[in-house]
Copies of this chain bind each other. A is one copy, B any other.
Amino acid sequence: MANLTDCIEEYLKKLLALSSERYVEVQRRQLAKKFACVPSQINYVLERRFSPDRGYLVESRRGGGGWIRIFRIETSHARPWREVIESLNGREFEPSRIRQLLKRMYEEKIISRRESSLLETVIKDRIYEEKGLSKNKARELQHELLSEALEELLKVNY
């Protein structure tokens, strides 16, 4: 195998495939020791090869008995929707337009009515105005919060 990163990736994916759980659990130190590298190399592999984009979710805990868990997550049909919303630029990101999108997501059964109403809350101009934010700042925040929220939804299929 060409390089460490590939080796570690392959190893972890094998573990994941063989595991009866929906995740694998490793210790950073141990894994680094196994591959004779510095611990931070593990973080590099996780970042590059087990990112959400690639369909993985990583959790960890520090301290004595710490661990790293890698989940394989289902990529649902929500992905294209998120991409649409993410790609909207400033002018296009208008609450009324977003509400329309959310409505369609609900109709397509991508999200529930309750989820839709939670997401609509995030794009309510009034809230940001009350806190004295400029229109631009508000738009940016709304955009970011919404993208992030949809991103989270993609992860929660397990």
Hey, which bits of chain A sit against chain B, CB under 8 A?
2-3, 5-6, 63-67, 112-115, 117-122, 124, 127-128, 130-133, 137, 140-141, 144-145, 148-149, 152-153, 155-158
State whether A118 and B149 are in contact (beta carbons under 8 Å apart), knowing that A113-B157, A127-B144, A131-B144 are contacts in the complex.
Answer: yes
A148–B124 CB distance below 8 A = yes
Q: Tell me what chain A mostly uses at the interface: helix, strand, loop, or mixed.
A: helix
Contact B152 A117 (CB under 8 A): yes
- Give bound CA distance, A67 to B6, whole Å: 13
The contact of A65 among B6, B132, B149, by CB within 8 Å, is B6
A66 to chain B, nearest CB (A): 8
